[in-house]
A = this chain, B = another copy of it.
Amino acid sequence: MLHDDVVDNAPLRRGKASANTIFGNEAAVLVGDYLFAKSFKVLSDINNIKVIKSYSDATTLMAEGEVKELVKTADIKTGEKDYLDIIIKKTAVLFACASEVGAIIAGKEEKCAKKLYDYGLNIGIAFQLMDDALDYISDKEFGKFIGNDLKEGKLTLPLIHAIERANKDEKEVITDIIYKKRLTSKDLKTVLSLVKSYGSIDYTISKAKDAIKKAKKNLDIFPDSKYKNSLIDIADYIIDRKL
């Protein structure tokens, strides 16, 4: 998150001034490095190389996803497949790793670890889809504004879906707005109404719901328990959250 806010030049994190705003980029980069290194130190105390492998696989993919997202900034040709690849890497693999590690530490068989990995991956995909949908819906909450991603040139599914359906003129309008350095509230309204006219926010939410269905299905092999119920509740919360 520290590095994320440096990369995004984000002034806010959950509605409060971000670390880079208060302490500068230098400190935010270094303290991010410290926490990253420290996390491996803490994990290595578990004395289980499988945990390290899961975590290092996840963090490598996350950085790959972040780089791909940066490369695709303001790229009007970004398709749904690119988008899915980016959100799986930058977000979902972290959820997957966190879920899988539970099974690894508990010494459960590989099949359980795999199912929990997939459960995490699917709720992670849903989480990012909802986050990107909310960015086109929600108001000033958790440091988010309507069109925050758009302002940063980030093409997320609501916009990608609309662009793929837009006619030539509409595409040109969107392209011009994406290339602009500063967006006016008129620009935001133009894009928002196009996104709404193609049902692209609803499409994004429906994709999130699909992923949550898959996530719950991944839990089928586990016997009923309050722990399993909690995992189901977490999955449902991802769709229900409004912030």
Contacts and interface: CB of A to CB of B under 8 A. Distances in A.
A3 B33 contact: yes
B37 A56 contact: yes
Contacts of A173: none
A6 interface: yes
A32 to B, nearest CB: 8
A48 to B, nearest CB: 8
Given A3-B29, A6-B29, A25-B6, A63 B34 contact: yes
A26 interface: yes
A215 to B, nearest CB: 25
Interface string A26-43: 110111011011101101
Number of copies: 2
A172 interface: no
A120 B81 CA distance: 47
B25 A25 contact: yes
A57 interface: yes
A66 interface: yes
B29 A7 contact: yes
Nearest to A6: B29
Contact of A49 (B47, B60, B64): B47
Contacts of A129: none
**Which of A7, A40, A48 counts the most chain B CB atoms within 10 A?**
A40
A28 to B, nearest CB: 9
A58 to B, nearest CB: 8
Interface of A: 3, 6-7, 25-27, 29-31, 33-34, 36-38, 40-41, 43-44, 47-49, 52-53, 55-57, 59-60, 62-64, 66-67, 70
A6 B33 CA distance: 13
Given A26-B7, A27-B70, A70-B30, A60 B44 contact: no
17 contacts: A3-B30, A7-B26, A7-B29, A25-B25, A27-B70, A33-B59, A33-B62, A33-B63, A36-B63, A38-B56, A40-B55, A40-B60, A44-B49, A44-B52, A44-B56, A47-B49, A48-B49
Given A30-B70, A56-B44, A62 B37 contact: yes
